[in-house]
Amino acid sequence: MSMYDVILNEEELKVKYQAREFVKSVLPSLLRQMDREEIQYPTKYIEDLGSQGLLGLRFKHESGGRELGWVAETSVIEEIGVLGPALGCLYSLPSIVGEALEHFGTPDQKEKYLEPILRGKLFCAEALTEPRGGSDFFGATCTAEKDGDRFVLNGQKRFVVGAEGADVFLVYAKTGSSTSDPRQTISTFMVEKKFGVQTKHVYGLMGSRGGGTGRLLFENVFVPEENLIGSLNSGGDIFNQMMIPERMTSAAGAVGSARAGIEIAAKYSTRRKAFGRPIQKFQAVSFKIADSITLLDAARSLIYSTSRHIDTNKGLTNGPIRRLVSESKKFATEAAWTIINHAMQIMGGIGYTNVYPIERFLRDIRLMSIWTGTNEIMNLLIQHEYFDELETQVVEKKPRDVELDAIGAEFTEEKIFE
């Protein structure tokens, strides 16, 4: 029994198992064609998700959502993650782009974009990373210059999942001057492909193929001013908000992929024999399973408590939420990498072939420590928020001073810091 079966409420369990049924209905041929790059964008998959009401679960009914919380959404994404990160990411994009529209969009923007996106009738993508770099968000060089009642967009974005199939891109571009605080120089726009966005499929990806990951080129693309999300130069606030779905979807998806991989290896270990016994009977094998299941449950626990935290503190993006979201992304993606590596080792040589999907999971999952903010950037955020919390805790809550419990605590002359 999954730990979720005990801790989710009836409604959350219902949607989780609806997602599991949906995942079972996706044809293996779709995944194979995507991995062979015979498909650049699985349109029908998104349409089907939309028609089953599975997209953007936490958004309002009027926008096409179900008004569920993050707990429901992450448990569903674990199910979708079984299909791998390309389909997982395409599932999550309406949630990521939707977060910006829900929190900062006008009623007109919600009607024009959010609702059709959640109903699977309009395909969206998110364009943040540029050829010059992704980690340094505020160093963006794409520009959007005001020209009467429109903006003129110039520059490039790269690694955009869905570039090939999306109708509309959420784009961050520089609108402030280089002399201002860099955090106040970026704005966010809904840019329709038909405004003149050029897309290029230029990458041979190691894994996570078939999601249409490509480059965007903007050459004097005119964007009407009503497509600005939030106020001018408020892109930093929108980015902070969007990082919650961006990173939580990666975390929960990684757990789903890892679960699927270790299940294959565990079942294989009960049937495959060496030295006359099932390999499961060798501790070297069964302990890898034990370590993997423990990591999976630890990742789930962190994702679950983070989800509860986000649901309880709606709208908050900083402090403990930023730390927990970053921890979830880092821990779950690294756990998934370890687990899939165990799965491959347990299966021996056949695990390294495409007879089983373990080698695809391994290629796919490697991406997850890199995208949606690298795990080094997660560490940067985790330590930053922790030091902040440590400072305020000392001032506000005065915990027991455990330093005084040391036998030599009174040797203050030995407490030398410089």
- CA dist 191 to 125, 198, 351, 381, Å? 10, 12, 43, 30
Which span sits near ligand FAD by CB under 6 A: 125-133, 215-223, 323-331, 392-400? Answer: 125-133
Residue 385 CB neighbours (<10 A): 20
CA–CA dist 293, 3 (Å, integer): 11
**320 token code pair:** 């403990």
- In the complex, residue closest to ligand FAD by CB: 134
Q: Rounded to the nearest whole angstrom, what is the least distance from the CB of residue 208 to ligand FAD in the complex?
A: 5
Q: Which stretch binds ligand FAD (CB under 6 A): 247-255, 314-322, 370-378, 408-416?
A: 370-378
Q: Is 213 in the site for ligand FAD (CB under 6 A)?
A: yes
Based on the shown chain and the rule CB under 6 A, indicate whether residue 135 belongs to the binding site for ligand FAD.
yes
Q: Which of 214, 201, 223 is nearest to 143 (CA)?
A: 223
Beta bridge partners of residue 395, listed in sequence order: none
Contact partners, residue 5, CB within 8 Å, separation at least 6 = 13
Residue number with CB closer to ligand FAD (216 or 344): 216
Task: For residue 373, state whether it binds ligand FAD (rule: CB under 6 A).
Answer: yes
Q: Is 46 in the site for ligand FAD (CB under 6 A)?
A: no
Which residue in 217, 293, 380, 388 binds ligand FAD (CB under 6 A)? 380
Binder of ligand FAD out of 128, 262, 289, 358 (CB under 6 A): 128
Kindly state the tokens that stand for 254. Answer: 């990684």
Is 34 one of the binding residues for ligand FAD (CB under 6 A)? no
Task: For residues 187 and 236, give the distance between their C-alpha atoms in angstroms, rounded to a whole number.
Answer: 8
164 is catalytic: no
Q: How far is the CB of 186 from ligand FAD (least distance, A)?
A: 13
Beta strands (DSSP E) in 180-339 are 186-192, 198-200, 214-224, 228-229, 273-274, 277-278
Three-class SS state of 313: coil
Number of amino acids touching ligand FAD (CB under 6 A): 22
The residue among 305 and 374 lying less far from ligand FAD, judged by its C-beta, is 374
Interaction of residue 368 with ligand FAD, rule CB under 6 A: no
- The smaller minimum CB distance to ligand FAD, of residues 202 and 409, is found at 202
- What gap in Å lies between CA 387 and CA 174, rounded to an integer? 31
Residue among 139, 198, 374, 388 that touches ligand FAD (CB under 6 A):
374
Q: Which residues contact 42 (CB under 8 A, 6 or more apart)?
A: 30, 34, 87, 90, 165, 210, 211
State in angstroms the smallest separation of the CB of 42 from ligand FAD.
Answer: 15
- Beta-bridge partner residues of 222: 152
Site string for ligand FAD, 160-199 (x = CB under 6 A): xx--------------------------------------
Decide whether 175 or 213 has the Cβ nearer to ligand FAD. 213
Does residue 100 interact with ligand FAD by CB under 6 A?
no
Q: Is 133 in the site for ligand FAD (CB under 6 A)?
A: yes
Helix (H) or strand (E) holding 335: helix 320-347
Contact region with ligand FAD (CB under 6 A), list: 129-137, 179-187, 253-261, 283-291: 129-137
Q: 162, 123 in Cβ contact below 8 A? A: yes
Residue 257 binds ligand FAD (CB under 6 A): no
Q: What's the min distance (Å) between Cβ of 377 and ligand FAD?
A: 6
- Tell me if 24 sits within 8 A of 79, measured CB to CB: no
Return the range that interacts with ligand FAD (CB under 6 A); candidates 120-128, 177-185, 257-265, 398-406.
120-128
Calculate ∠ Cα 103-104-110, nearest 5°. 85
CA 381 → CA 138, 198, 317, 326, distances in Å?
A: 15, 34, 12, 7
Of the residues 12, 126, 130, 246, only one is catalytic, namely: 246
Contact 188, 165 (CB under 8 A): no
Q: Which residues does the annotation mark as catalytic?
A: 246
What does the binding site for ligand FAD look like in residue numbers (CB under 6 A)? 126-129, 133-135, 159-161, 205, 208, 213, 367, 370-374, 376-377, 380
